[in-house]
Structure 1
Amino acid sequence: MANTKAKAPPIIDFAPFYGTDPTARQDLVAQVRAACLDKGFFQIINHSVPATLQDAMFTLAHEFFALPIEEKLKVDANLNDYHRGYETFRSQAFSGSLRPDFKESIDFGPDYQPDHRYVQAKHAACGPNLYPASVTNPAAFRTTVDTYLAAALGLANDVLRVLALGLGLQEGYFEGFATDPVATVKMLYYPSQEPVAGEGGDDGERGINAHTDFGFVTLLMQDDVGGLQVFDNDTDSWLDVTPIKHAYVVNLGDCTQRMTNDRYRSGLHQVINRSGRTRYSIACFHAGDPEYVVRCLPRGIGGEGGEEKYPPVSVNDYLTERTKDSYIRAEALNAT
Structure 2
Amino acid sequence: MNSMSESFKAANIIPLDFKAVLGLPDSHTWTPTTEYPLILTESVPVIDLFDSSNAMSLIGNACEKWGVFQVINHGIAIDLLSELELQTRRLFTLPADQKLRAVRSSEGFTGYGLPRISSFFPKLMWSEGFSIMGSPAEHARQLWPQDDHTNFCNVMEQCQKEMMGLSEKMIGLVLGSLGLTHEDVKGLGCQAQAQGLLHLNSYPECPDPSRAMGLAPHTDSSLLTLLYQCNTSGLQVFAHDTLGWVPVDPITGAIVVNIGDLMHIMSNARFKSALHRAVVNKIHHRVSVAYFYGPPRDLKVSPWIKLTDPDHPPLYRPVTWKEYLDAKATHFNKALEVIRNTTSS
Secondary structure in 1 aligned to 2:139? coil
Q: State, as a whole percentage, how many aligned pairs show the same letter.
A: 25
> For structure 2, which runs of at least 5 residues remain unmatched after alignment?
1-38, 333-345
Farther off after superposition, 164-173 or 134-143: 134-143
Q: Distance in 2 between matches of 1:52 and 1:10?
A: 24
Matched with 2:127 is 103
How far residue 61 of structure 1 moved from its aligned partner, in angstroms, is 0.7
The superposition leaves residues 249-301 of structure 1 with CA deviations (integer Å, 9 ceiling, x where unpaired) of 11100000011111011110000112521100001110121111011112546
Residues 6, 234 of structure 1: 8 Å contact kept: no
Residue in structure 1 matching 2:160, options 149, 168, 174:
149
> For structure 1, which runs of at least 5 residues remain unmatched after alignment?
17-24, 112-127, 197-201, 327-336
Matched with 2:110 is 84
Residues 217, 253 of structure 1: 8 Å contact kept: yes
2:268 aligned with 1:261, yes or no? yes
Question: What are the within-5 Å matches in structure 2 for residues 15-30 of structure 1?
Answer: 15-16=50-51, 25-30=52-57
Matched with 1:51 is 78
How far residue 52 of structure 1 moved from its aligned partner, in angstroms, is 1.2
Distance change in 2, residues 1:54/1:28 (3 Å): same
Q: Distance in 2 between matches of 1:172 and 1:186?
A: 31
Residue in structure 2 matching 1:178, options 170, 191, 194:
191
Matched with 1:131 is 139
Secondary structure in 1 aligned to 2:294? strand
The superposition leaves residues 160-184 of structure 1 with CA deviations (integer Å, 9 ceiling, x where unpaired) of 0101210101135334112222211
Secondary structure in 2 aligned to 1:274? coil
Secondary structure in 2 aligned to 1:220? strand
How far residue 320 of structure 1 moved from its aligned partner, in angstroms, is 3.2
TM-score (norm 2): 0.77
Question: What are the within-5 Å matches in structure 2 for residues 276-315 of structure 1?
Answer: 276-298=283-305, 300=307, 305-315=311-321
Distance change in 2, residues 1:278/1:165 (3 Å): same
Matched with 1:115 is none
Residues 47, 155 of structure 1: 8 Å contact kept: yes
Residue in structure 2 matching 1:32, options 59, 67, 84:
59
Q: Distance in 1 between matches of 2:179 and 2:137?
A: 38
Distance change in 2, residues 1:130/1:316 (3 Å): farther
Q: Which amino acid aligns with 2:193?
A: D
The superposition leaves residues 230-266 of structure 1 with CA deviations (integer Å, 9 ceiling, x where unpaired) of 0001111000001011100111000000111110111
Residues 182, 287 of structure 1: 8 Å contact kept: yes
The superposition leaves residues 176-216 of structure 1 with CA deviations (integer Å, 9 ceiling, x where unpaired) of 112222211111100233446xxxxx64x311100000010
Residues 162, 171 of structure 1: 8 Å contact kept: no
Distance change in 2, residues 1:180/1:206 (3 Å): same
Matched with 2:25 is none
How far residue 101 of structure 1 moved from its aligned partner, in angstroms, is 2.5
Residues 224, 244 of structure 1: 8 Å contact kept: yes
TM-score (norm 1): 0.79
RMSD of equivalent CA atoms = 2.4
Aligned length: 289
Q: Which amino acid aligns with 2:71?
A: I
Q: Distance in 2 between matches of 1:192 and 1:174?
A: 43
How far residue 144 of structure 1 moved from its aligned partner, in angstroms, is 1.4
Residue in structure 1 matching 2:203, options 190, 196, 202:
190
How far residue 40 of structure 1 moved from its aligned partner, in angstroms, is 0.7
2:60 aligned with 1:60, yes or no? no
How far residue 304 of structure 1 moved from its aligned partner, in angstroms, is 10
Question: What are the within-5 Å matches in structure 2 for residues 196-215 of structure 1?
Answer: 203=211, 205-215=212-222
Q: Distance in 2 between matches of 1:70 and 1:325?
A: 33
How far residue 323 of structure 1 moved from its aligned partner, in angstroms, is 4.1
Q: Distance in 2 between matches of 1:324 and 1:139?
A: 38
How far residue 137 of structure 1 moved from its aligned partner, in angstroms, is 2.4
Q: Distance in 2 between matches of 1:150 and 1:132?
A: 19
2:159 aligned with 1:159, yes or no? no
Residues 49, 55 of structure 2: 8 Å contact kept: yes
